[in-house]
């Protein structure tokens, strides 16, 4: 009978320990759930802050900088200065455009020049226009176009580079 009582009390202690651990697990689970909810709120707030910052930068560039670039283009400046203003305008558009970010993050092997030329191609500029804008030879632009096509994986396809860039 003494062995039976010992065994029963051992089982009761084990049962109590198990219940205590289950209570601890439930408490920790609820703590983790609260932490996940808090992290979700923080992540949403960070995304909202990021979106707001992007919108402010876009608004500031469009309202505070680009109008002056337009005025400079209309003033009496030489062809070279107009070309520089167009490049400045294009680069500002790159800054506020998610295209350059997506292109550079998705295809990290592209050089800054290739990203710039890719943006001009996407804008519909011809090789000659790009060469004039960047003060480079048309052969240099053709070389960049070839390298861009290779890095984007469309070298031997009949796909238009401009069309492919629009899909990015």
User: By the 8 A CB rule, do 110 and 148 touch?
Assistant: yes
User: By the 8 A CB rule, do 155 and 149 touch?
Assistant: yes
User: Is CATH 1.20.58 what the domain over 78-168 is classified as, yes or no?
Assistant: no
Q: Which tens digits make up the pLDDT trace of 62-93?
A: 777 877 887 887 888 888 888 888 888 877 87
The per-residue pLDDT of the chain, averaged, comes to 84
pLDDT beyond 90 at 142: yes
User: By the 8 A CB rule, do 141 and 155 touch?
Assistant: no
User: By the 8 A CB rule, do 131 and 137 touch?
Assistant: yes
Q: What dihedral do alpha carbons 74, 79, 85, 89 form, nearest 10°? A: 90
- Quote the pLDDT of residue 138: 94
User: By the 8 A CB rule, do 127 and 142 touch?
Assistant: yes
SS3 at position 160: coil
Write down the residue that tokens 């283009």 correspond to.
73
Residues 6+ apart with CB under 8 A from 94: 100, 115, 116, 119
Predicted confidence band at 2 (pLDDT cuts at 50, 70, 90)? low
- End-to-end CA distance of the chain, in Å? 80
Cα–Cα distance, 97 to 95 (Å, whole number): 6
- Quote the pLDDT of residue 6: 67
Whole-structure pTM value: 0.47
User: By the 8 A CB rule, do 72 and 85 touch?
Assistant: yes
Neighbours of 89 (CB within 10 A): 17
């Amino acid at each position: 009978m003494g062995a039976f009582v010992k065994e029963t009390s051992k089982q009761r202690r084990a049962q109590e320990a198990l219940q205590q651990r289950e209570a601890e697990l439930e408490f920790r689970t609820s703590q983790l759930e609260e932490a996940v909810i808090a992290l979700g709120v923080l992540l949403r707030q960070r995304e909202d802050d990021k979106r707001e910052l992007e919108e402010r930068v876009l608004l500031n560039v469009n309202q505070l900088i680009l109008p002056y670039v337009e005025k400079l283009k209309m003033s009496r400046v030489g062809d070279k200065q107009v070309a520089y203003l167009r490049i400045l305008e294009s680069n500002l558009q790159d800054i506020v455009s998610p295209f350059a970010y997506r292109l550079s993050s998705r295809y990290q092997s592209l050089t800054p020049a290739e990203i710039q030329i890719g943006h001009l191609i996407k804008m519909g500029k011809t090789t000659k226009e790009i060469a004039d804008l960047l003060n480079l030879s048309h052969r240099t632009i053709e070389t960049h176009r070839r390298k861009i096509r290779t890095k984007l994986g469309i070298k031997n396809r009949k796909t238009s580079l401009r069309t492919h860039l629009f899909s990015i």
